[in-house]
Amino acid sequence: MQQIKKIQQAWCMYDWANSAYLLVITSTIFPIYFNGVTRSAFQSETVRFFGLEITNSVLYSYAVASAFLIVAIISPWLSGMADYGGKKKFFLKFFTYLGSAATAGLFWFRGENVEYGIVCSVLAGVGYSGSLVFYNSYLPEITTASNYDKLSARGYAYGYIGSVLLLLVSFALITFHKDLGFEVETAAVRLSFLLVGFWWFGFAQYSFYFLPDNKDRKKKDEKLFYKGVNELKIVFQSLKNLKMMKAYLLAFFFYSAGVQTVMHLAAIFGEKELRLEASKLIVTVTIIQIVAIGGAYLFAAISKRFNNGISILFMLLIWIGVCGYAYVLQTEYQFYVLAVIVGIVMGGIQSMSRSTFSKLIPANSIDNTSYFSFYDVVEKLSIVIGTFSFGFIEQLTGSMRNSTIALMLFFVIGVGLLLYSKIHKTTSQTSYV
């Protein structure tokens, strides 16, 4: 029992380690820094990227989409080697080291070397999202189905707390950069990127020490490289008999496109549409992270009282309102109100989505990585569609506000498909299959 608790603690600590990347690099400081230094370097919102002229925020949206597209393509090939080759922890380490090194490499991005900055940010994104394929797949192996919701929420809570701590350190570095000996603010900002890389790498070592290797499942097979693709085919075919899972995954695809796009591009929206200062945006996202901790546990409690389907439907209705409000908001105070609402439903939707899928996996399945690889491919493709759509609509119309309407449509479709799945009518709290 004590060993299981250590493994669960180590699993949660990986969220603590890598969430700093999601918050500092993806959601706050780096997008703001990217817009600012490229605008300064090129004296315009338009930058030259490998000879192509493109709006800086659109380029960033496409970079996010590219990172997740790469992972969506390669993760099926890797999941088979992880499951059948006993290499789950190996790939978790590989993507962690890739992501943390690329994140630290952003220290040398100054604006004029925009190609270097984009390459590093894409590699960091690949490392982050790639590691989650193997991290998430541990959940059904380290706890019982009745505790999926609780442990999943605990993992996200660790992530929110750890990432906020490092964000506050970064914020202090930037705010008091002159007192700390930095001649310019951007030097302190770049140091924060270095800190994220070290934070991610360092705390992940605790997880690596305690998480199981799964080497007892290692098999010799010259076709090991194709096992993941074959397993995904099996998972895809199994959906014919898992109608609820199939409908849920379709719903998840659409609403995840909305959720993840908001998470990745909210800071750029605030900086560009409302002209909010970096310090205010950092404070705003900090509020979101803190509120999200309560949100994760709140909707876990709602799920326990009713079921996961009702909990997720309730959140999606709020997300639809969020998109409509984002389209019309004009002041920074309205942005703060929006941030609080987003925080509540962001923590809940992420935690409940992961644990709900865990409950939908057949009880007799031993290859959880294959199911979670399929889940992660769906999620990554949804992020590709969401972030690409956001950038493309801005490129066509010249305004990010119009992009929020597309996100609203994603949530509406998600609600419809979730209702069709009838998952909200289930009574089981531990498993839906």
pLDDT of 169: 92
Between 185-194, 215-224, 406-415, the lowest mean confidence (pLDDT) is in 215-224
Alpha carbon distance 146, 163 (integer Å): 28
Evaluated on CA atoms 339, 340, 346, 349, the torsion sign reads negative
For residue 419, the 8-state DSSP code is H
- For tokens 């930058």, the residue is 47
Share of the chain above pLDDT 70, in %: 90
Contact (CB, 8 A) for 211 and 10: yes
How many Cα atoms are found within 13 Å in the side-chain-facing hemisphere of 372? 28
Contact (CB, 8 A) for 218 and 17: no
Q: Specify the pairing of strand 46-49 against strand 52-55.
A: antiparallel
pLDDT of 187: 93
Alpha carbon distance 174, 39 (integer Å): 19
Q: Which two tokens stand for residue 327?
A: 């389209």
> What are phi and psi for residue 120, nearest 5 degrees?
-65, -40
Residue 306 above 60 pLDDT?
A: yes
Mean of the pLDDT values across residues 104-128?
A: 95
SS3 of 59, please? helix
Mean of the pLDDT values across residues 98-124?
A: 96
Q: 275 or 170: whose pLDDT is higher?
A: 170
pLDDT of 310: 86
- For tokens 């992972």, the residue is 71
Alpha carbon distance 326, 402 (integer Å): 10
Domains of the chain and CATH, by start:
2-209+235-425 (1.20.1250.20)
Mean of the pLDDT values across residues 271-289?
A: 76
- pLDDT tens by residue, 46-95: 999 998 999 998 899 899 889 989 988 887 777 666 666 667 888 899 99
> What are phi and psi for residue 138, nearest 5 degrees?
-75, -25
Alpha carbon distance 296, 298 (integer Å): 6
Q: Which two tokens stand for residue 310?
A: 């009702």
Mean of the pLDDT values across residues 295-313?
A: 81
pLDDT band at 105 (very low <50, low <70, confident <90, very high): very high
49, β-bridge pairs: 52
pLDDT band at 108 (very low <50, low <70, confident <90, very high): very high
Residue 372 above 80 pLDDT?
A: no
Contact (CB, 8 A) for 109 and 116: yes
